[in-house]
Structure 1
Amino acid sequence: MTGYGQLVSFPLVQTAYSAPEVYLNKNQPTKFPMSTDIWSLGIILVELVLKQPLWESLKIGQKIRKILSLLQCEGRIFERIAREHKCYEIFMALDPDWKALIESCLAVTPSRRITTQRLLENKLFAHLHVHNSGEQKKRDIPKYEAFTIKEFYHWWRLAGGDVIAELKKQGLIRTGPPILSLPSLALIDGTCFGQEKNPNTLYDQRVVMMPVTALHERLGHLKYHHFHPLVHCASAIIDRFDSSLNYDASGLPLCIKEKDPEYQFHRIILFRRLLYGYPFTRDLIVRQARFDIPPQLRGEIWAALLNVSGDRDRTELLFQLIDKETQTPTDRQIEVDIPRCHQYNELLSSADGHRKLKRILKAWVQKNTKYVYWQGLDSLTAPFLLLHFNDEARAFACLSAFVPKYLHQFFLKDNSAVIQEYLARFSQLIAFHDPPLANHLHEINFVPELFAIPWFLTMFSHVFPLHKILHLWDKLLLGDSAFPLHIGLSVLTQLRSRLMSSGFNECILLFSDLPEVDIENCVKNSMLTFETTPKSVTRRLHDNESGQEITPEALEDCRRQNKARYPRISPQDVEHLVRNFPSQLLAIDIRNPTQFARRAIVDSLNIPISSVKFGEQSLEGLGPVGTFLATSDDKFVVVIGDEDTDTEMFPRLLLDCKVPKVCVLQGGFDALQTYASNNAIFTSS
């Protein structure tokens, strides 16, 4: 934080315990770094022997001069200190071995001080040596020694630890009315008078011990094997035994689980082991991430879900090779956007956060020459920078993997075709799951172009605060590029009652300041619709996962499909439903009776298009089939025709009649016959 002391005017040391060379070689590394700690140990031993702190009444500058004066002392520094503190009798009564040890620690020349190895071999510490038996080691090793200080601090805070509260108890932080911190006089040039220094920002060398009693109470009952959970197990008995050790919090809300020290302990220990084995354990990481992701390891888990390389050195090298300094035409827009990007967050609003975000954005623009910088890319980058604040290369690698998967071709200079197709699939998904809402938005002409472009261009990172984005993306990264469409549908579902009672102007005002969204319910509903929607309903031509060649014919077909209010379903998905979930499918064949009798899908219904009355927006004109449709909310309604049949008006009629889950077979009945791998799904005369 201080550039190893170069950015501040005071020493970042415990003054009385620092060796003389620390002050002589300020800002320069010593040749014997461990020897300075040996000197500090010697001073501590002197205080313990003399039973009083050294030079307690002196100010900082006087203490430093006192320590430097010891350089003129020819040996026997311990004796000199004892005389200065009127403790010569204690010095004389001390065991000679202890005198010799302390003097060896307080040698003026660093190279002549005792080494750590010789110190540990001293006979004075023989009774402290741990025996070499395995059981003795197991008893003597602290439970928490396997934790990093970051992990230990995380669990300590979850157990109720509060640094600020402890510092307030010790008087190191004092609060007062804000008005008292204002200057008495401020000149126009910025000079202030009468403003006292805030003691909270001043250096204080006192050490405050943080209590860990609450953490011991929460984790103290854990056994040794809890720290080493099984990852792979071929034994059902062992697996059953090991699973019983896990802390069951399945019924708790996510916000509670993230604050439960014991639950987070089990999750972090498990994920840490899985991350050690990445990329070979990626499938296990994905499986566990479906339950939840511990916040402490979220950055590493996200990187694994995005298939980011585990070779940090190579990732860092590739990032360093990208030119991030040369001025470009996009710099001006980047500099305008960054100060507005999640500035309520302390890290992202800092000067260092601004610099890091700018470097990552410039690197992305430089690396992806076929794309341009669009507003919103800064919001996309912010979550990755927040999780990898001290590793810009890792944050850049995550962004570089995220964009092709979820925002393929979104950052083209002319992205109109991509955006139009995406919004068309969104409208069709709304109609598929909620026809009344889709009809109402269509009637008032409130189209997704008016509100949803910032949603999808930034994957909601511009719409929601960061703490909600983290939870949202935990599930987003487990889905494919269609999952954001389901998130958008879930947001509309939460606002449904207000939307249904609002006109165009009211809807515009509603989305200009988006109301509070329950992100946990949003995630839950998104996953439900995502898992119950055939993949082809949301499939896009401009999709990195489709693998479809973008030919002029495909573009023309895409434009026709964009104009439809209902989605299409692929022959493969229809075959899958017929073979595996026939009870969930209602196939309506609108071909003429002769074609239907010749060959049709098993258990499909024939409603010739010529027999349908299109003047009325009701199902009564369909006879018994209409009554059946009115009670089939849980079925997929697939309209099947051929190229000579009007497959536009009939599904539109069903949509106007508020029939959910309506879709049209892509390519007609002939396409299904071509793709079907099993003739058992057909009946024929």
Structure 2
Amino acid sequence: MRPLRDAQLGAFTFFASALPHDVCGSNGLPLTPNSIKILGRFQILKTFTHPRLCQYVDISRGKHERLVVVAEHYESSLSDFQRQGKTVAYEVLEGLEFMNKHGMVHRALAPNNVLMDHKGNLKLAKFGLYYMTDRGGDVDFPIGYPSYLAPEVIAQGSFHASDPSNEEAPLPSGPKSDIWSLGVLLFEMCAVRIFFFWLRIFDCLHNCLLLVYLYFNVLCHSLLWFKQCVLSVVPGPTPAELLGDEVFNEISCLYMPFQKPLSLFSSSLRCAHLELPEDISDLCKEEEDYLSERAIDEVYYLWCLAGGDLEKELTNQGIIQSKPPLCTLPKFLLEDGESFGQGRDRSFLLDDTTVTLSLCQLRNRLKDVGGEAYYPLLEEEQSSLPQSASSQDLSTTVTLPLIIRERDTEYQLTRIVLFHRLLQAYPYKRDLVWKDARVDIPPLVRGMAWAALLGIEGDIQAKYEGIDKDTPIPTDRQIEVDIPRCHQYDELLSSPQGHVKFRRVLKAWVVSHPDLVYWQGLDSLCAPFLYLNFNNEALAYACMSAFIPKYLYNFFLKDNSHVIQEYLTVFSQMIAFHDPELSNHLNQIGFIPDLYAIPWFLTMFTHVFPLHKIFHLWDTLLLGNSSFPFCIGVAILQQLRDRLLANGFNECILLFSDLPEIDIERCVHESIKLFSWTPKSATYRQHAQPPKTTAVTDGNGFGRPGTYYFSDYQDMPRTDLSREPLALSELKAELSPRISAEDLIDLCELSLAGGGKRTRAGRPKIVAVDVRSAEDFNRGHLSGSVNLPYSSAFGPDGELVQCPGTGVLHSFRGRVIVVISHAMKSGTTFASHLVKVNFPRVCMLDGGIIKMRSTGLLTVPSPQI
């Protein structure tokens, strides 16, 4: 969007037509309220940034089908000043031509809707009212002013879209109607100017007859162009044709052709037309109004955070007038519901007034924010925490809960400015986007930030347009059934425009992935991306296409049973690894992940959580690798831990049929903690995404800033020390996960300092438990490992002889316990018993001690002298 600069924020309100409550659509569902239809159509208007059009900013839906529209506004209009007719005509035609290219007409052209900025440039206001109301069919008032409407428009009358069977519905107005309105507007300007000019001349002569004669004589000449262009019988002319008329030859050269702003994701260079002033110091002005240089939508967002209330502003200006409910009751109410005696409430009629929203409260809130906050430095050495020399409280704000940070005006300003600059430099500053996203992501830029985290690049629009989204396919029927049930509590996604976009994005994904199929749940995955990129279907599709391979690789195969079963088995092992007591209880009552976790992972939790929780959850999910969803699942179970441990199978089924409220911020923090305790190879899956050829920066998202990691364990180069794939039957037989030899070496840091990684308390984070016999242990073992022979705890047939969880192992409770054996069968039995006696963080070394023999890291104890 364009900067605010000298513009103001204006708001106007109107009511949509009310629909009957007892009527359903063809699908058996209640009719979509007209206000939601208007809200959906309005969204595309926010993308229009032409210099001759006032920028639309937002629309909000209130009670009784009330809608409040926020847009760029100026106090001065054409009715307040007189300008040269050619200049007015040319600038208005520029705006009309741009609208016509996008299939829209103004239909409400009048002097009060032709605004003027401080430089005298014209901007058309309320140009989208005819489009957003479906040609006036969704409101009870006509669109336009009778004095400026074309005759055929007046002759057609009005209609309501609530009656689709009306075959006599008027045809939609075309560009011709706007040309008529412009002609009347220019004629009015000319007539008023000439009239008052001659009136001053003849004021002393009192020659009324001569005044009338001269007045009409001049009007006839001024009507010549109006007659040829407007009153023509043949169709036309259009604004584009009039702009090419020779009458504008003198002034057309004074206007620069409009260039559409380049998208962040395109094949063109965004800096191709970058120009710097000759004197760089001109960029730095003292006492500059930094807020006015921010985008209009950004200023409005901050205005809302600073306490702005649209309905309160309109109420203070007398536009919204409320009445006590008692005064709205009808005098007579018959049995059939018909009422008599109560006049129409005047407060529901259209008031065309635009109220200017005061920015004083916002400016007062930001008065202590220094200019450097608007132009932050982007050096990698700089802390990712927002800083301000004039507002030291921001450094402590980052420690507050996320919901508080998202409502803090000063904090959000610094974060929005920072991310705006980082995204402008994307993909060059991709590393810094990852780094700052670990702090938080401002809601205003979340859509673009997610796209950057997913690595979206290139001309996504051309790719999306090249996909056939119109030819019928067998999946169309299922998509039509699923969309009306997907997050329909949200006004935007429940609108007809939302359904159309849903259908197009989902169909584009199905068509462009012929090796995959549509499974129920794909619509839920699409919802967050579509909501954040409602006006950019191509970006929503690109994000969805990048998200699914990373986290749901092969989940949408026609036969995905082997993929799902492996995923659920690894998840079951993660529960046992982090919470063995809960795992033992769930296994004992038979409440396995197959009964509750498939919708979690198939939709990445979008099927079970509302959108506002998904946003916070995915802000962190996108920073993690494909194993992070396991940690989220465990964190959810731990929030329900007490209720799960106290209930049996039937009660657990009922509990998950209506999932209780989950604290998402707590879930995110716990997930990160669980993720940091999980060895990378513990979540290895044979059916995960194949290795990539290159590494990405900080792929796990929670490592040390400035270091580099592979995005997933599967992306790491395969060596003899890597973990080997297992058959599904073998994997299901093991309670504890396996880790690779290279993971064990990394966790123990054996190749570096010889000591183990330390916890905050100073103790090693990991302990290796060697279950081989004492003789084998003495022939070679890992330095620092503990020898607990398998034969001392289990008999020849695997029966338990002595509990290995007593004695020395109790001092290691809480650390990651890696069971090392010679044969995996004995290691599996030993590890399973530790889980059954509630030892957390138990895993096994894949391949046993044999994998370590080639490393040269095995030590032999010194002989006793």
Q: TM-score, length-normalised on structure 1?
A: 0.79
1:156/1:212 contact within 8 Å kept: yes
Give 2:747's aligned residue.
577
Given candidates 621, 644, 650, the residue that maps to 2:802 is: 621
Structure 1 residues 371 and 135: CA distance shift in structure 2, 3 A: closer
Give 1:271's aligned residue.
419
- 1:80 partner letter: F
1:16/1:64 contact within 8 Å kept: no
Structure 1 residues 198 and 491: CA distance shift in structure 2, 3 A: farther
1:590/1:645 contact within 8 Å kept: no
Distance 1:422 1:461 in 2: 18
Given candidates 193, 199, 212, the residue that maps to 1:78 is: 193
1:679 aligns with 2:849: no
1:444/1:503 contact within 8 Å kept: yes
1:308 aligns with 2:456: yes
1:260 aligns with 2:408: yes
Give 1:507's aligned residue.
652
1:293 aligns with 2:441: yes
How far did 1:680 drift?
6.4
Structure 1 residues 608 and 44: CA distance shift in structure 2, 3 A: closer
Distance 2:146 2:481 in 1: 46
How far did 1:138 drift?
1.7
Distance 1:225 1:385 in 2: 35
How far did 1:373 drift?
0.3
Classify the secondary structure of the residue corresponding to 1:278: coil
1:306/1:398 contact within 8 Å kept: yes
Distance 1:60 1:584 in 2: 76
Classify the secondary structure of the residue corresponding to 1:621: coil
2:416/2:445 contact within 8 Å kept: yes
Distance 1:44 1:224 in 2: 25
RMSD: 4.7
Distance 1:618 1:179 in 2: 83
Equivalent positions of 1:410-421 (< 5 A) are 410-421=555-566
Structure 1 residues 594 and 112: CA distance shift in structure 2, 3 A: closer
Equivalent positions of 1:239-254 (< 5 A) are 247-248=394-395, 249-254=397-402
Structure 1 residues 436 and 212: CA distance shift in structure 2, 3 A: same
Distance 1:143 1:587 in 2: 59
How far did 1:179 drift?
11
Structure 1 residues 341 and 196: CA distance shift in structure 2, 3 A: farther
Give 2:831's aligned residue.
651
1:435/1:660 contact within 8 Å kept: yes
How far did 1:513 drift?
0.2
Q: Give CA deviations for 1:479-518 in whole Å, capped at 9, x if unaligned.
A: 0000001000000000000000000000000000000000
Q: TM-score, length-normalised on structure 2?
A: 0.64
Classify the secondary structure of the residue corresponding to 1:29: helix
Classify the secondary structure of the residue corresponding to 1:639: strand
Distance 2:331 2:551 in 1: 52
1:599/1:684 contact within 8 Å kept: no
1:482 aligns with 2:657: no
Structure 1 residues 316 and 192: CA distance shift in structure 2, 3 A: farther
Distance 1:194 1:485 in 2: 64
More helix by share: 1
Give 1:98's aligned residue.
none
Classify the secondary structure of the residue corresponding to 2:819: strand
1:629/1:659 contact within 8 Å kept: no
- 1:568 partner letter: R
How far did 1:657 drift?
1.0
Given candidates 432, 436, 461, the residue that maps to 2:581 is: 436
Aligned length: 624
1:408 aligns with 2:588: no
Structure 1 residues 376 and 285: CA distance shift in structure 2, 3 A: same
How far did 1:535 drift?
0.9
Distance 1:69 1:483 in 2: 64
2:781/2:860 contact within 8 Å kept: yes
Distance 1:80 1:342 in 2: 60
> What percentage of residue pairs aligned between the two structures are identical?
41
Q: Identify the range of structure 1 (664-673 vs 375-384) with the bigger mean alpha-carbon deviation.
A: 664-673
Distance 1:500 1:411 in 2: 34
Structure 1 residues 41 and 439: CA distance shift in structure 2, 3 A: closer
Given candidates 736, 739, 758, the residue that maps to 1:566 is: 736
Equivalent positions of 1:336-375 (< 5 A) are 336-375=481-520
1:465 aligns with 2:610: yes
Classify the secondary structure of the residue corresponding to 1:664: strand
- 1:144 partner letter: L
Distance 1:628 1:197 in 2: 85
Give 2:842's aligned residue.
662
Distance 1:457 1:31 in 2: 42
- 1:600 partner letter: H
2:387/2:394 contact within 8 Å kept: no
Distance 1:629 1:540 in 2: 30
1:147 aligns with 2:294: yes
Equivalent positions of 1:310-329 (< 5 A) are 311=458, 314-329=459-474
Structure 2 residue runs without a partner (length 5+): 1-40, 46-52, 54-70, 121-143, 151-180, 205-221, 226-242, 256-278, 690-711, 750-754, 758-763
1:619/1:627 contact within 8 Å kept: no
1:348/1:386 contact within 8 Å kept: yes
Distance 1:454 1:491 in 2: 14
1:82/1:88 contact within 8 Å kept: no
Equivalent positions of 1:115-130 (< 5 A) are none
- 1:648 partner letter: T
- 2:782 partner letter: I
How far did 1:634 drift?
2.2
